[in-house]
């Protein structure tokens, strides 16, 4: 038990912040990022897109409603370390099964509290994301800075292979249990009950469980496949459509996925989100680039250029698609992030292919973009009524 002992987070620029430890006794390195969500810390911890990253939460107190197995987005936390201002002394919620401290300790993830998270966030916003080290093992701040500087970083690194599934499987889940969680007597979101099922092959680049649950809820049957699955192997599964999930790391490094998707978009309706959106970008022959500090939180405004509709979205990514190269590659930019005008959505000018740079399943986050799952269903349905892709 190391809770309350001295801990440190150090950035590559030499900045150090000393606080108190919780979770596991461990020293780790990773990319320092921040998330502006007010809740959903368990979903953030277990989102595979955070693999290799040290996450700072901007909300003041974390851990107040505990942890429960139903809210996990994957098998345990995927962050390298967790940085917060204040750890709640109690976990008070009827769904809670254990405290945040015990959860991180059990999964061997270090946490640090009682540091100035606003100062860390401001530094990352001004200077960009940095390599970092978190230690709850009482190493010196100077050693922590050196370990941060020695880390190789994320650019050019394929982390997808670290989080993808080992082999194909059928995602079986009770459809009623896939609906948006609500307190009895309320209902946050309604959609039509699709009368038939479509078989979708879902690429697991580091997918969140709630994404697959949304697909099930909208009438899809899912075969989940590893990131390295080839187009020929997908053909053998005879899908009606292909889904490309979120995931961690540099999208330019996942070249095997670019090759598979380049073939698949010629034959199937395709829907991609987050990393899946970026992989479609590369498959079309366009490029991605690293953002200064990324988009991570549940309050990112996105405008659909074609409809004028504005949605508040949940996002978690550090790379973006290049608008100029997309348009040259035959894609139509459909949505933009209103904070910085980066590309937030695209569709192919003639093929049934579209993608978004956010999380329409919204776990955590708002429900504004849930309609996209219905759009995917309608796209497949329409493709069945038109001549085969060639």
pLDDT tens digits for range 54-90: 999 999 999 999 999 999 999 999 999 999 999 999 9
Spatial contact of 21 and 138, defined as CB atoms under 8 Å apart: no
Indicate if 72 belongs to the active site. Answer: no
The active-site residue, picked from 31, 72, 113, 361, is 361
Spatial contact of 31 and 52, defined as CB atoms under 8 Å apart: yes
Q: Which structural domains are found in the chain, ordered by start?
A: 6-150 (3.50.30.20), 160-384 (3.40.50.880)
From the list 144, 249, 256, 151, the residue with the least C-alpha distance to 203 is: 256
The active-site residue, picked from 105, 218, 274, 277, is 274
User: How confident is the prediction for the chain on average, in pLDDT?
Assistant: 93
Indicate if 317 belongs to the active site. Answer: no
Please give the full DSSP string across 213-242, using - where no structure is assigned: HHHHHTTEEEEEEETT--HHHHHHT--SEE
The active-site residue, picked from 85, 277, 282, 359, is 359
How far apart are alpha carbons 375 and 311 in whole angstroms?
15
How far apart are alpha carbons 236 and 226 in whole angstroms?
15
From the list 300, 304, 327, 302, the residue with the least C-alpha distance to 314 is: 300
Query: What pLDDT, in 10s, does the model give residues 154-176?
Result: 999 999 999 999 999 999 865 55
Q: How many CA atoms lie within 13 A of 134 on its CB side?
A: 30
Phi and psi at residue 254, to the nearest 5°:
-95, 60
How far apart are alpha carbons 247 and 379 in whole angstroms?
24
SS3 assignment for 325-348: HHHHCCEEEEEEECCCCCEEEEEE
* Mean pLDDT, rounded, for 211-224: 94
Query: What pLDDT, in 10s, does the model give residues 304-334?
Result: 999 999 999 999 999 999 999 999 999 999 9
pLDDT for the residue numbered 390:
45
Indicate if 274 belongs to the active site. Answer: yes
Query: What pLDDT, in 10s, does the model give residues 83-130?
Result: 999 999 999 999 999 999 999 999 999 999 999 999 999 999 999 999
Say if pTM beats, i.e. exceeds, 0.85: yes
Q: Strand 61-62 relative to strand 86-87: parallel, antiparallel, unpaired?
A: parallel
């Amino acid at each position: 038990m190391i809770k309350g002992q001295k801990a440190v987070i150090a950035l590559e620029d030499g900045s150090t912040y000393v606080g108190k430890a919780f979770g596991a006794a461990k020293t780790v390195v990773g990319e320092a990022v921040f998330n502006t969500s007010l809740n959903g810390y368990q979903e953030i911890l277990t989102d595979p897109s955070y693999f290799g990253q040290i996450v700072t939460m901007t909300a003041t107190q974390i851990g107040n409603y505990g942890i429960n197995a139903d809210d996990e987005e994957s098998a345990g936390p995927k962050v390298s370390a967790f940085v917060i201002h204040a750890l709640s002394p109690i976990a008070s919620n009827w769904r809670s099964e254990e405290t945040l401290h015990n959860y991180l300790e059990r999964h061997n993830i270090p946490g640090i509290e009682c540091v100035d998270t606003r100062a860390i966030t401001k530094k990352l916003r001004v200077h960009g994301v940095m390599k970092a080290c978190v230690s709850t093992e009482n190493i010196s701040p100077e050693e922590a800075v050196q370990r941060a500087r020695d880390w190789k970083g994320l650019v050019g690194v394929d982390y997808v292979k670290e989080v993808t599934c080992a082999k194909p499987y059928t995602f079986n889940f009770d459809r009623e249990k896939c609906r948006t969680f609500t307190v009895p007597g309320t209902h946050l979101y309604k959609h039509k009950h699709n009368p038939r099922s479509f078989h979708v092959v879902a690429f697991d680049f580091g997918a969140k469980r709630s994404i697959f649950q949304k697909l099930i809820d909208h009438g899809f049957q899912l075969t989940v496949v590893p990131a390295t699955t080839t187009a020929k192997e997908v053909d053998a599964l005879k899908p009606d459509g292909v889904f490309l999930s979120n995931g961690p790391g540099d999208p330019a490094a996942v070249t095997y996925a670019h090759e598979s998707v380049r073939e698949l978009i010629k034959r199937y309706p395709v829907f991609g989100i987050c990393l899946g959106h970026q992989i479609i970008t590369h498959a079309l022959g366009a490029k991605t680039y690293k953002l200064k500090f990324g988009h991570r939180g549940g309050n990112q405004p996105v405008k659909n250029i074609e409809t004028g509709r504005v949605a508040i979205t949940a996002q978690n990514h550090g790379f973006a698609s290049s608008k100029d190269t997309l348009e040259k590659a035959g894609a139509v930019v459909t949505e933009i992030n209103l904070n910085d005008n980066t590309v937030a959505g695209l569709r192919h000018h003639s093929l049934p292919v579209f993608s978004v740079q956010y999380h329409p399943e919204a776990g955590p986050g708002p429900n504004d973009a849930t309609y996209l799952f219905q759009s995917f269903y309608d796209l497949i349905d329409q493709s069945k009524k038109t001549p085969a892709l060639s």
